[in-house]
Amino acid sequence: MNQRVRITSPQTRLALRRKTDAMRRVNHKAGRPPIASTAIDMAGAERALRRQRRLALRTALLLGAVLGALLLASALVSGLLGWAVLFFAPYPLLLALAAGHVRRAEQIEADS
């Protein structure tokens, strides 16, 4: 008559309840029905994760290329203009790169 009993702290039970309550509130506010944990498409989630990892790698490589090109441009341009290239040019490029990355990541997520 050995029976296993799961013993948890009251804080653990409270945290688990808060987590499920929070997810229920988020789904309710978004107008979505609650998702059962068995309804999650694990294969689709893994495919989306792989696609987002490839996107992150491409974005990182593009970032390196853009920053390398800016360094080369600042080296070719002498004096104050070279410093201005390093000081002002990266920010709009980084913003455009980040916006493109987020847009593509959201498309991947929507396709899944």
Q: What is the pLDDT of residue 92?
A: 94
- CA 15, 39, 35, 23 torsion: positive or negative? positive
Expressed as residue numbers, the domain containing 83 is: 42-112
66 vs 110: CA distance, rounded Å: 28
Do 51 and 84 lie in a common domain? yes
Q: Are residues 79 and 112 in the same domain?
A: yes
Residue 111's nearest CA partner among 28, 50, 25 is: 50
Burial classification of residue 37, based on how many CB atoms lie within 10 Å of its CB (0-12 exposed, 13-18 middle, 19 or more buried) = exposed
3, part of any domain: no
The closest of 59, 35, 38 to 108, measured between CA atoms, is 59
How many folded domains does the chain comprise? 2
In a domain? residue 2: no
pLDDT at 50: 92
| DSSP category for residue 39 | G
Assess if residue 92 is contained within a domain. Answer: yes
pTM, two decimal places: 0.60
Say if 67 falls within a structural domain: yes
- Along the 112 residues of the chain, how does pLDDT read in single tens digits? 567 666 656 566 555 666 666 555 555 555 666 555 555 667 777 888 899 999 999 999 999 999 999 999 888 988 888 888 888 989 999 999 999 999 999 998 888 7
